[in-house]
């Protein structure tokens, strides 16, 4: 007879597992249940869903609990290059436990730049991307104007990082920013992935 523990784990005999493997596999997939297979009263193997196995094999690093700001050039590259590190960095930024921060000037610049005709980003894709940012980001209102970036238009990102107490500002133009602004470190998309999720970089 099978027995069930309080942790959504079912213990089955090796004989039953062999005879009913298909049904047990469906149970694991559909109910997110783990099966411990015993032989003569001794646990010999565990049957997990693919999702549970991935969580064990490649858990989300704790470092992903980060406050982030994205330069517009990262967002543009994410839209144009699905396989690039900028797309990966963007997806990490909008996925908990990370948190993406924006300000009204940044959201306005995102929309203006993505709409540039020379980029040829379809209107539907552009609006979908902007809506995703709206749904997955936190809006801050910077209290202080800064004049730190070599390109004055980029100060809005430092102002946002300052207001959000961001851990990282991710950009494709390192030369426009200081290496650090208070507690915020300025990094490229690839550098951020190396810190937060190195297993996602190509081998």
Can you tell me the distance from the alpha carbon of 154 to that of 73, in angstroms, rounded to the nearest whole number? 11
pLDDT of residue 13: 86
Q: Is the pTM of this model over 0.95?
A: no
pLDDT of residue 158: 96
The torsion angles phi and psi of 144, rounded to 5 degrees, stand at -125, 135
Reported as a single tens digit per residue, the pLDDT across 115-127 is 999 999 999 989 9
pLDDT of residue 4: 52
pLDDT of residue 112: 96
Say if residue 106's pLDDT is above 60. yes
Please give the class, per CATH, of domain 3-57: alpha beta
Q: What residue ranges do the domains of the chain occupy? A: 3-57, 62-200
What value does the mean pLDDT take over residues 50-77? 76
What value does the mean pLDDT take over residues 69-74? 98
Instruction: Provide CB contacts within 8 A for 4, sequence distance 6+.
Output: 10, 11
Q: Which CATH architecture has domain 62-200?
A: 3-Layer(aba) Sandwich (3.40)
The pLDDT confidence band at residue 58, using thresholds 50, 70 and 90, is low
Instruction: Provide CB contacts within 8 A for 184, sequence distance 6+.
Output: 69, 158, 161, 162, 165, 166, 167, 168, 169
Can you tell me the distance from the alpha carbon of 97 to that of 107, in angstroms, rounded to the nearest whole number? 22
């Amino acid at each position: 007879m099978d027995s069930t523990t309080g942790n959504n784990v079912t213990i089955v005999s090796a004989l039953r597992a062999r005879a009913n493997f298909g049904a047990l596999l469906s149970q694991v997939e559909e109910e997110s249940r783990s099966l411990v297979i015993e032989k003569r009263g001794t646990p010999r193997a565990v049957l997990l869903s693919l999702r549970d196995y991935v969580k064990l094999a490649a858990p989300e690093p704790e470092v992903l609990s980060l406050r982030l700001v994205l330069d517009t050039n990262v967002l543009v590259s994410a839209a144009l290059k699905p396989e690039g590190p900028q797309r990966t960095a963007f997806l990490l930024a909008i996925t908990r436990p990370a948190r993406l921060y924006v300000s009204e000037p940044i959201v306005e610049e995102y929309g203006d730049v993505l709409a540039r005709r020379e980029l040829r980003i379809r209107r539907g894709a552009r609006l979908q991307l902007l809506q995703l940012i709206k749904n997955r980001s936190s809006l801050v209102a910077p209290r202080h104007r800064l004049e730190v970036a070599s390109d004055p238009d980029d100060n809005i990102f430092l102002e946002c990082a300052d207001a959000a107490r961001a851990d990282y500002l991710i950009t494709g133009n390192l030369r426009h920013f200081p290496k650090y602004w208070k507690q915020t470190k300025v990094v490229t998309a690839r550098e951020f992935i190396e810190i937060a999720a190195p297993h996602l970089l190509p081998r």
